Amino acid sequence: MLFNYIKIALRNLWKHKTYALVNVVGMSVAFASCLLLFLTAWTQLSFDDFHVNRDQLYMVYDQSGPTEKSGTMPTPLAPALRNDLMPELAHVTRIVEGGGLIQYRNQEFEKRVQFVDPDFFEMFSFPMLKGNPATALNSLSNVVISKNAARSIFGSADPIGKTLLLQQNEAWKPFVVSGVLADFPENSSIKFDILARFEAYPDYQANKNSWDNQFHSVYVQLDKKITETAFEQRLRPFVTKHYAKAIQSRKRDGGQRDENGDLISLRLLPLRDLHFDTEIGGANDSPVKRSYPILLLVVAGFIVLIACINFINLSTARSMTRSREVGMRKVLGALKQQLVFQFWGEALILCLIALVLGSLLAMMLLDQFNGIFRNRTTLSSLFAPGLMLAMGAVFLLITFVAGGYPALFVSRLNTTQILKGKVSLGKTGTVRNTLLIVQFAIATFLIGCTMIAWQQVTFLRNMPLGYNESQVISIPVGGHYNGRQVLNLLRDKLVQQPKVLSITGAYKNFGRGRDGSSVTSIVGFDHKNRTVRSHWQPVDYDYLKTLDIKLIAGRDFSRQYATDTITSVVINETMAKQLGEKNPVGTLLNVNDGEPPMQVIGVVKDYHHESLKKTIQPNTLLISHDWPIGYVLVKVAPDNIPATMEVLKKTWEEIAPKSEFQGSFLDENTNRQYQSEERMSKMFISAAGIAILLSCMGLFAIAVMVMAQRTKEIGVRKVLGASVASIVALLSKDFLKLVLVAIVIATPVAWWLMAQWLEEYAFKISIEWWIFALAGLLAVLIAFATVSFQSIKTALMNPVSSLRSE
């Protein structure tokens, strides 16, 4: 019996090739898109799932008032937590990244070095392949390395007991390898090549008792018997005890209190939320908003829904051509459940074929997909038991939705009416129209969202930033060389190059360069009995000249003034307003206790030194040999830039052969800040394209079937003198009405959602009415082009042939 059903199903599909092809192609594209989007979302949503203690792990952060948050902590915090809050606190570790230049047998390697406490191995599930996790970091001169780092440094040799050198403050310090860890998964927020004791961090001794300098992360593991809320309550008296000085300063400055009435509080961020916290989690692996993977799942659902709607509409419409078959089966004794099984079986076979083809298509497009959306998705994730079970359940649901309704509709047809040829669509026409409205509402929604997202990205890219971003090349120095020495050598080498207009250096980059690094340094100090906070940007001479930053008061740094490298600073307008001085030039700032005050020698016009998602913050420029130069900035002439870039590359390879030349223009760097927006735009564009394609396929197939049923009517109208244009308008208007209804439904939803999305930007576009008018017009034109093709073909038919065929 089952074999007979399958044979009949395959025979019917072969007989109606057009119907089968539309459904298979549509479902294949939907399955491929859904698979790629689902895998990407799964990668994001499963971040840090592999840690056994995940539900008890938290990152500590401090909150000042209702909004100010920071994930960097002072060095004494972890020991104080360990002393004051045991046993509720099972484990605690500090984590800070420091340096990355490793030397072994006169070979140098760039590696990610993290300094941690021994509790790290008890808290996080990074399996140790060699060595003992309980004793691996007992000595301050021990390090634990990852399997991948061991392979690249030591080759096939056993690394245990080997000595390597780690560069610290331009000096080489020996460390002994005491353990090898398995490589961390891609979906890990904590990444490392080498782990060393926190006390071995170069700046540890200078800060071990300082509660004012915050530069590392702190993670805690709570005892299973205590909740997050209860532990945060235990932290309140702890903060009162250890942050008394900071609390007094905020009280003096009139700082706002949070919802609990605290000026300063310590909070817990669950590890499961770390990857999705773009404010506090930003110090770890590139964080994303939780809405991003959820949005991927929603878009995947939209695409599959549209394909299912096509399937339902086509199956229901085609069932009318099979009504006599159904009638004969009923007369011959076929039961209702047998008819349901037969038609649902055909849907299942089509979906299985589409699933296989869609999976193959996804495999073929995976590399291109990862390249476009900058993902690291792999098909190996599919073999996770939980994911396979979830996908199997989703597939069965899709086949039930796509094939279930048409099967039930066919099984309920009246046998007498079928055999008399009096079957009509009845309520099915209403269902079909509703489903078409849903299809085009989704398509219109995606078109509108695409246009707004693209407008916002274009706005961010084109907004004036207050400095020259198109002619300035940023070159990361890397860890192999002293940045100031490289800067001076480059100046000497390029002094005779007419295309090189100016050269300077800075501690941090603009945007995100090709090295992928992005740092922020904020310094707070008291000025006139209130706390002042400012971004701290160490630079070199000619910084304003190279970047074309406008000086509005005072002077720039000059080699003629010896104190400019010791006590002079240049501030921006926002910093000047924060100081509250009528004439800020000449103002003395007591930044560090026991050291000479810094003097403001100049004020520059505000420029965007951070992402446009944020408002301009106070910024202070200084020349200090205590801070390294991390980037060399070169201003070049606008003509023949490729040749100038080649000269720069050649010169760089001469003076810094161990450091890869990674020069990039500042406009490239600033554009990289908006990768998530670009990904969102590309995702919407792709999804809108697929949604429109599938909708048009379904609309075209439905139009063919509906017009085939109206062949006689069209013939009569032509005999009575109707023109081709009037017939095309008649046949198309019913479909266009549905599209207009879809536009009315989709427009307010898209407007509200994108308005919420734009709220996270300090600088954003205004949503204009014409965006949705254009989106609706595009949907109407696409629908009309789809329907009118078949309408014109039908209208041009010879009425004699039409009437004879009936």
pLDDT tier at 142, thresholds 50, 70, 90: very high
More confident residue, 197 or 251: 197
- Comparing C-alpha atoms, which of 191, 177, 116 is closest to residue 144? 177
For 84-103, how does the pLDDT look when each residue is reduced to its tens digit (9 = 90+)? 988 889 999 999 987 678 88
Cis before 597 (ω within 30): no
Q: Is the pLDDT reported for residue 406 higher than 70?
A: no
What the block records as the tokens of 102 is 């490793």
pLDDT of residue 642: 85
More confident residue, 584 or 481: 584
Report d(CA 437, CA 744) in Å as an integer.
Answer: 10
Average pLDDT over residues 654-658: 84
pLDDT of residue 130: 92
More confident residue, 700 or 448: 448
Left, alpha or beta for 302 (phi > 0: left; psi -120 to 50: alpha)?
Answer: alpha
What does the buried/exposed string (b/e) look like for 150-166 if buried means 16 or more CB atoms within 10 Å of the residue's CB?
Answer: beebbeeeebeebebbb
Average pLDDT over residues 391-411: 72
Q: Is the pLDDT reported for residue 727 higher than 80?
A: no
Q: Is the pLDDT reported for residue 690 higher than 90?
A: no
pLDDT of residue 221: 95
Average pLDDT over residues 262-280: 87
3-state secondary structure 696-734: HHHHHHHHHHHHHHCHHHHHHHHHCCCCHHHHHHHHHHH
Secondary structure element (H or E) that encloses residue 179, with its range: strand 171-181
What the block records as the tokens of 78 is 């972890």
3-state secondary structure 606-670: CCCCCCCCCCCCCEEEECCCCCCCCEEEEEECCCCHHHHHHHHHHHHHHHCCCCCCCCEEHHHHH
pLDDT of residue 14: 66
Highest mean pLDDT out of 420-424, 449-453, 461-465, 558-562: 558-562
What the block records as the tokens of 469 is 């971003």
pLDDT tier at 606, thresholds 50, 70, 90: very high
Q: Return the SS3 of 528.
A: coil
CA dist list (Å): 690 to 20, 265, 552, 694: 19, 48, 52, 6
Of 240-244, 267-271, 310-314, 792-796, the range with the lowest mean pLDDT is 792-796
Q: Is the pLDDT reported for residue 365 higher than 50?
A: yes
Average pLDDT over residues 720-747: 81
Percent of the chain, pLDDT > 70? Answer: 83
For 483-494, how does the pLDDT look when each residue is reduced to its tens digit (9 = 90+)? 888 888 999 888
pLDDT of residue 5: 56
Report d(CA 563, CA 545) in Å as an integer.
Answer: 20
pLDDT of residue 580: 87
pLDDT of residue 806: 46
Report d(CA 623, CA 644) in Å as an integer.
Answer: 28
Q: Is the pLDDT reported for residue 397 higher than 50?
A: yes
Average pLDDT over residues 4-12: 62
Instruction: Please report how many Cα atoms fall inside a 13 Å half-sphere around the Cα of residue 477, on the Cβ side.
Output: 25
pLDDT of residue 688: 74
pLDDT of residue 783: 80
Average pLDDT over residues 31-49: 85
Average pLDDT over residues 433-458: 84
Q: Is the pLDDT reported for residue 8 higher than 80?
A: no
Q: Where does residue 365 rank: exposed (0-12), middle (13-18), buried (19+ CB within 10 A)? A: middle
pLDDT tier at 124, thresholds 50, 70, 90: very high
Mean pLDDT of the chain: 82
- Comparing C-alpha atoms, which of 415, 435, 399, 481 is closest to residue 656? 481
For 658-689, how does the pLDDT look when each residue is reduced to its tens digit (9 = 90+)? 787 888 888 887 777 777 667 767 777 777 77
Number of Cβ atoms within 10 Å of the Cβ of 228: 15
pLDDT tier at 289, thresholds 50, 70, 90: confident
For 157-216, how does the pLDDT look when each residue is reduced to its tens digit (9 = 90+)? 999 999 999 988 778 899 999 999 999 888 888 889 999 999 999 888 888 888 877 888
pLDDT tier at 422, thresholds 50, 70, 90: low
Q: Is the pLDDT reported for residue 392 higher than 50?
A: yes
pTM more than 0.85: no
Report d(CA 519, CA 627) in Å as an integer.
Answer: 13
Average pLDDT over residues 620-635: 88
CB-based contacts of 29, cutoff 8 Å, min separation 6: 303, 307, 358, 361, 690, 693, 694
Q: Which runs of E-coded beta strand occur in 17-121? A: 57-64, 68-70, 73-74, 89-97, 101-104, 107-110, 113-116
Q: Is the pLDDT reported for residue 721 higher than 50?
A: yes
Of 256-260, 276-280, 371-375, 552-556, the range with the lowest mean pLDDT is 371-375
**DSSP characters for 723-763?**
-HHHHHHHHHHHHHHHHHHHHHHHHHHHHHHHHHHHTT-SS
More confident residue, 714 or 396: 396
Q: Is the pLDDT reported for residue 792 higher than 70?
A: yes
pLDDT tier at 122, thresholds 50, 70, 90: very high
Report d(CA 629, CA 541) in Å as an integer.
Answer: 12
Q: Where does residue 503 rank: exposed (0-12), middle (13-18), buried (19+ CB within 10 A)? A: buried
For 308-337, how does the pLDDT look when each residue is reduced to its tens digit (9 = 90+)? 887 777 776 666 556 566 666 666 666 666
Report d(CA 373, CA 211) in Å as an integer.
Answer: 42
Q: Is the pLDDT reported for residue 404 higher than 70?
A: no
